[in-house]
Amino acid sequence: MIDWGSVRDARGDSGVVVERLLDRLKLQPDAALWNELDRRLIVEDECFFAVGFAALPTLSQLAQAGDTEQRDRALDLAAVITRTLHRNHEDDRLVRAIPDVLAVLHRLARARVATCTGPTLVRRLQGTLAFAGYTFWASISLDFTDEHYHLDCPHCPARLAIVIGDYGHYSAIRDYNDGDVRRVGSERE
pLDDT digits (tens, 9 = 90+) for 26-52: 999 899 999 999 999 998 888 888 899
Nearest Cα residue to 131 out of 105, 110, 111: 105
Asked if 135 and 122 touch (Cβ cutoff 8 Å), the reply is no
CA distance 78 to 108: 11
Task: Quote the pLDDT of residue 22.
Answer: 96
| Structure confidence at residue 143 (pLDDT) | 54
- Cβ neighbours of residue 183 closer than 8 Å, sequence gap 6 or more: 170, 171, 172
**DSSP 3-state of 14:** strand
Per residue in 121-153, pLDDT (tens digit) is 878 888 898 888 887 777 776 555 556 677 777
Q: Over 70: is that where the pLDDT of 186 sits?
A: no
- CA–CA dist 131, 78 (Å, integer): 9
Measured distance CA(157)–CA(153) in Å, rounded? 6
Residue 88 has pLDDT above 70, yes or no: no
Closest CA to 18 of 47, 1, 44, 40: 40
